[in-house]
Amino acid sequence: MSKDPLLTTADVALRLRVKPETIYAYVSRGLLPRVKAPGERISRFRLTDVERLAARTQATRPERDAAPAMRTATTLIAYGRLHYRGLDAAKLAPVTPFEQVAHWLWTGEWHGDGFAASPEVLDSTRRASSHLPAQARLFDRLPVIVSVASAMDPLRFDLAPATVTALAPGLLSTMVDALPFAAKATPDGSLAARLWSRLTVGPPSPAGLRALNATLVLLADHDLAASTIAVRVAASTRANPYAAVLAGLGALDGPMHGAIGSSVHRMVEAARREGASAAIAEWLRTGRLPGFGHSLYPEGDPRGAALLDLLADLPIEGDLRRAVDDLTATAARRNALPNVDFAVAVLAHATGMGPGASEVIFAIARTAGWIAHLVEEYAQPENRFRWSSGYTGPPPRSA
């Protein structure tokens, strides 16, 4: 028997981005051979056969409405896993510094260099964001910080790959270091450690810093999510990297994207106070259950599972432990498994971070992925996205 991994019909449909019925059609036409696994009644498919068919079908598939495709060599979501340039993100997360993963996304090479911000830029961005009103969220500071950093970079319109990847470490450092301190800074110079001191007054622990670093790694990219599409469309007009990141932050701020973390944080908080059943019942009144399930991971979000495993090393309080266990068990009865948003909310509760921490973590992490997509998009023809509008208004008429 072949040693190729054997995939289910659901796995293949996800990889080829087609319906399961289309898989059956491929089989009947002889385009995809089936394999009968001993002791199983269902059909499975060899990984090499699926990849061969993917290369054939996705290279010739016509684009809908004549819109150009967004192709990427950065991230692949397939077979229930998330891969950064071929490497499993969930396996990288517990053992690899975020800075190294970011360099891997940008260049396909490993670098051990730390990230540092320009003192001059840092001073200006801090002063600018300090003028925001007291009720402003921590996330609200990020667009201000990026805008000021952009204005101070005379090379921002140089879109060469080397220039874009060279500015990225300073931009990420500025986005973190210009945020106000919640606690005394830690002597550890990693980006995760510096971000920790902006999010919680609690002292950093090795397990906590490891979990926060892993969170940054797991959220660094996720294929063509809404915010990444916004970044790439901006880049196609040759917007500079800072402007494209601002487009991504705008999309990320939506309550159905990066800002969903605040909702999950409040749900966990309600479960600690009122019990899991009451909290879930209240959220189901809104028509959704934040923090559970993911359309791209029908068997469970591997990012959430990886982070929850790391959180087992934290000293989680009894009421939080009960709330997490009860929420997970109650949601499981609806066939809903915890996703990465739920795991980040648990991290925030366990370490004393506020409800806005998750969206800041998300934004910092995802900026790394956006930079990788910027490099790819700048290599494509400019201004290439123009979809058909599908006009539904009244017909033209004379004045």
172, 370 in Cβ contact below 8 A? no
DSSP code at position 66: G
Gap between the Cα atoms of 358 and 237, Å rounded:
30
9, 20 in Cβ contact below 8 A? yes
Gap between the Cα atoms of 282 and 268, Å rounded:
12
Query: Which residues have CB under 8 Å from 344's CB, separation 6+?
Result: 215, 219, 261, 264, 307, 358, 361, 362
Angle value at C-alpha 311, between 262 and 79, nearest 5 degrees: 85
Residue 262, H or E segment:
helix 260-274
Nearest C-alpha neighbor of 67 from the set 224, 294, 258? 224
Surface-to-core class of residue 359, CB atoms within 10 Å of its CB (0-12 exposed, 13-18 middle, 19+ buried): buried
What are the residue numbers of the active site? 294, 341
Gap between the Cα atoms of 374 and 371, Å rounded:
5
Q: Determine the distance from the C-alpha atom of residue 353 to the mean position of all C-alpha atoms in its chain, rounded to a whole number.
A: 19
Gap between the Cα atoms of 37 and 6, Å rounded:
9
